[in-house]
Amino acid sequence: MIIIKDLIKRFGDLKALFGVSLTFSNGECVALLGPNGSGKTTLIKSILGMVVPDSGTISFNEESINGNWMYRQKIGYMPQIGHYPENMTIANIIDMMKDIRKGSHNHHDEELIKSFGLHTMLHKKMRTLSGGTTQKVSASLAFLFNPDVLILDEPTAGLDPLASEILKQKILKEKKNGKLILITSHILSELDDLITEVAYMQDGNLVFHKKIAALREETGEQRLAKAITTIMKLDPS
């Protein structure tokens, strides 16, 4: 589905990605883990075409994304911190997104809008919203077009436990629909029961990419957080 090869990205003197290669397949729910500044967000933004890598290739359904933009029709993206035009209302934003993606997506999945209760505050301007509500908008937009791939950057950060749970249920549901779901996070425990694969990054390098079952087997730990700490001790490369 998504194949990343030897991705290198520098920001000035700072090297964000050191030749990362990864493959993500349909039906998986991948946790992209790693400490702050490890290159997770850069990797995600590279897949989205928001960051242009210095070298290496990314292909989406066997097609290079370089210079391509159509593939983004199949992606729903929820940014870590959503930035939206301040003067627009929630309704404006949703309508605009529907308008922009009209043609390719005429069926809209508005489940999250309702379950988050956003439909009661559609007239509110983006600048008046709390961080959590903004995240709810971001999440709703990511799922709105029923995309094949969902990329969620720290989805639960800033969400209250109730909203977190709603989102989690939604992710589970979509996973069952055979979608590829890519989640970055550093709060591990919440995601335990969602994840099928873990990719761990550190300082711009991919440390490992393993099925969760294999990980548990290797470490003998059931809890993901524990499993990872264990493997880091075993394999400190």
Partner 1 sequence: MNKILKYVIFDIVQNKIVLLYTFFLLVLSLSIFSLENNSAKGLLSLLNIVLIIVPLICIIFSTIYIYNSAEFIELLVSQPVKRKTIWLSIFSGLSISLSLAFFVGVCIPVLIYHADTTGMMMMATGLFLTVVFVSIAMLAAGITRDKAKGIGLAILFWLYFSLIFDALVLFFLFQFQDYPLEKVMVFLSFLNPIDLARIQILLQMDISALMGYTGAVFREFFGTYTGIIISFIGLICWIIVPLLISLSIFKRKDL
Binding residues for partner 1 (CB under 8 A): 11, 45, 48-52, 69-73, 75, 77, 79, 82-88, 96-97, 99-102, 104
Task: For the CB of residue 50, give the shortest distance to partner 1 in the complex, in Å.
Answer: 4
β-sheet with 75-78: strand ranges across:
75-78, 149-153, 180-185, 29-33, 197-202, 205-211
As measured in angstroms, the least distance from the Cβ of 48 to partner 1 is 5
List the beta strands (DSSP E) in 120-233: 149-153, 180-185, 197-202, 205-211
Residue (25 or 104) nearer to partner 1, CB = 104
Which residue's CB is nearer to partner 1, number 11 or number 35? Answer: 11
> What is the C-alpha separation between 20 and 43, in angstroms, rounded?
9
Closest separation between CB of residue 49 and partner 1, Å? 7
- Shortest distance, CB of residue 188 to partner 1, whole angstroms? 25
Distance CA 33, CA 47 (A): 16
Task: Please say which residue, 102 or 107, places its beta carbon nearer to partner 1.
Answer: 102
User: At its nearest, how many Å lie between partner 1 and the CB of residue 35?
Assistant: 21
In this structure, what token pair is assigned to residue 227? 């499993």
Q: Which helix (H) or strand (E) holds 173?
A: helix 161-176
Nearer to partner 1, 24 or 77 (CB): 77
Q: Which two tokens stand for residue 57?
A: 């290739």
Q: Would you give the DSSP letter of residue 89?
A: B
Q: Which is nearer to partner 1, 82 or 158 (CB)?
A: 82
